[in-house]
Amino acid sequence: MAAHHILVVDDEPEIREALVIYLKSDDVDVFEASNGVEALEILEKETIHLIIMDIMMPQMDGIKATFKIRETQNIPIIMLSAKSEANDKILGLNIGADDYMTKPFEPLELIARVRSQLRRFTNLGSFRMIESEDILEVKGLILNKTTKTVEVDGEDVRLTPKEYKILELLMENKGRVFSIDEIYEKVWNEPSFASDNTVAVHVRNIREKIEINPKDPKYLKVVWGIGYKIEKK
């Protein structure tokens, strides 16, 4: 099984270094950020399965960073704070943190909490960070409607926003054939032009990214003279 990806966000290098040592011994890949801004930048580039987030940091603190993350993602977040006041804990949990620990903390207890959160958000070895109705899946092709991510056989696939919307439309309606006009009007929210090959170009790009053999597609099928569909199974 591939290592879990954990993001440690703390402005104290000593804290980050200690956590990296403990976490790496627990079979994970660790990413580091010193503030909320850096954390958001890493999340744009990497697949992260859990975040350990300090509250008091420069530029962007852990509360603001967690609030921003929760706008699009439901990654487990364990908050850390040097303060023990109840209002900090309540605020952190209210904006979407999953757990809370006060510094100084016992490293082995933190590791136990990390494992617990990962178990909660893992299903049969595949990370399911949201409710099942928000996961669309066909034969190893998985689309996560909350995190707006796509993976094929466990590998992340980077789609453009329009490519993602086309795939989401088809996967939400598995087995249904959509004409080019229907796809264009639903994704672009404007009338379709029959001579415009925009949809065909986007579908070709999607196939290049999700299919092992785009000329013999496993997922995204063409129904000649009608349109496109995603196979039911």
Percent of the chain with pLDDT over 70: 88
Task: Report in angstroms the alpha-carbon separations of 176 from 92, 93, 179, 186, 192.
Answer: 43, 41, 10, 14, 19
Q: 194 pLDDT band (50/70/90 cuts)? A: low
Reported as a single tens digit per residue, the pLDDT across 28-70 is 889 999 999 999 999 998 889 999 999 989 999 999 999 899 8
Query: What pLDDT is attached to residue 177?
Result: 96
Q: Is residue 3's pLDDT more than 80? A: no
Number of Cβ atoms within 10 Å of the Cβ of 21: 11
- Answer whether 150's CB lies under 8 Å from 141's CB: yes
Query: What pLDDT is attached to residue 86?
Result: 60
Query: Across residues 136-162, what is the average pLDDT?
Result: 87
Q: Is residue 195's pLDDT more than 80? A: no
Top CATH class, 132-230? mainly alpha
Q: List the domain boundaries for the chain.
A: 4-127, 132-230
- 143: closest CA among 110, 108, 172, 101? 172
Query: What pLDDT is attached to residue 122?
Result: 63
Query: What pLDDT is attached to residue 129?
Result: 41
Alpha-carbon torsion, ordered 39, 146, 128, 109, to 10 deg = 40
If one looks up domain 4-127 in CATH, what number appears? 3.40.50.2300
Query: What pLDDT is attached to residue 220?
Result: 95
pTM reported for the whole predicted model: 0.54
Question: Who has greater pLDDT, 19 or 130?
Answer: 19
